[in-house]
Amino acid sequence: MIRAGQKYRAIEPLNVVAFSSWRAPATSGSRGALRAGELFTVDNGPHSEAIVVYCVPENNEMLHAVFISEANRSSARYRDSYLCIAIKDILEKCERIPD
């Protein structure tokens, strides 16, 4: 079972949606791929019927610039970002890193 705080390594590329969060009632996103070998942590545990979870990549500083446009990152209203990864992909294409 996938839980908040668990760390995983992608063993093959993962399709993700990168979401930008704002200091305003708005959200935007873009599609991308997390490369094989990248580590990430599950930010929020999934709800009972969820098919995706929010995750934060370990290499967030570098990947942040890959997934989120400069225009968004430099906006005064921009707050943060996170990746949305399918639970099925985590179970099939990742390995869990022990605590």
DSSP three-state, residue 19: strand
If you average pLDDT over every residue of the chain, what do you get?
Answer: 85
DSSP state string for 33-86: EEPTT-EEEESSPPPTT-SEEEEEETTHHHHHHHHS-HHHHT-TTEEEEEEEEE
Is 91's pLDDT higher than 90?
yes
Is 7's pLDDT higher than 90?
yes
Contact 67, 32 (CB under 8 A): yes
Q: How confident is the model at residue 26 (pLDDT cuts 50, 70, 90)?
A: low
Please give the Cα distance from 22 to 45 (Å, whole number).
22
> Which pLDDT value is given to residue 67?
73
pTM of the predicted model as reported, rounded to 2 decimal places:
0.82
